[in-house]
Chain A
């Protein structure tokens, strides 16, 4: 038996936002704080959520979490669309912390002095 959709269900299921495809391997490096910024023009043939995300981060950079909130998409769908756009060269993606610089005392000390400076 199938369960009828509740009144709060999304009108467009999240998997349709990704055009029904599954996440390709190797795309799991994106997380909520990955930084997205439009790079080149939007490749022809991409519309819908791809266009919305690309247009959102054309004027400036936002994290995946912020993009998901503005587009009202699940984080997982936003990750998929961002990875798709990045693969086609339309989006630059940067890690929150450059990999050469893991969380260490230096970063925590910079955070501490930054917070104290806000007081």
Chain B
């Protein structure tokens, strides 16, 4: 995995289309190092940016900082990217956010107004995905689980993963490669279909 920081540096701003677009937000979440930034980067039309979010003392990610260079004990970086949809009247923002339960206050703040969340999971440490599932269920967002295919990932058997994660039968489970744009688009399509399933039907004419 690469932990190259997203580039706030030197890149001149790429402005929003002058079409007064509606902005929508989806969350990309999961454990540290699962490929969230890679996923956002695969789809974003702008170089991914990040904001430093301050954590309360209670939420300091002490156990993770040792193996994540560049992350301090007092702030956590939130990576995000942007995708203008054909026609230019809709712009989608993707926020890559940590999926640990201790980030709940930050997560609720970030996810306000989001349509749904994509959980990235790694089959080699599937249990880490539970935290993100808890977090999102608490926030009440519809979600899809995408297993990120790493070069050394053993063949993925989605049925077994579904059972191991004890997923609701209605929750989509897919696999993708966070480095490949097409697969990332498929993951967002699956998530958006699920969001639609969960939204109440408009009153019948």
Contacts and interface: CB of A to CB of B under 8 A. Distances in A.
A74 interface: yes
Nearest to B188: A115
B113 A118 contact: no
Given A60-B18, A66-B49, A112 B115 contact: no
Interface residues of A, number: 41
Interface string B74-98: 1000001011011100101100000
Contacts, number: 120
Contacts of A22: none
Given A32-B110, A70-B8, A114-B90, A108 B195 contact: yes
Contacts of A8: 72, 74
Contacts of A84: none
Q: Which 6 A-B pairs have the closest CB atoms?
A: A60-B15, A114-B85, A96-B23, A69-B49, A61-B16, A117-B86
Given A103-B113, A114-B85, 4 more contacts: A69-B50, A96-B113, A103-B115, A115-B92
Interface of B: 8, 13, 15-16, 18, 20, 22-25, 46, 49-54, 72, 74, 80, 82-83, 85-87, 90, 92-93, 110, 112-113, 115, 182, 185-186, 188-189, 192-193, 195-196, 199-202
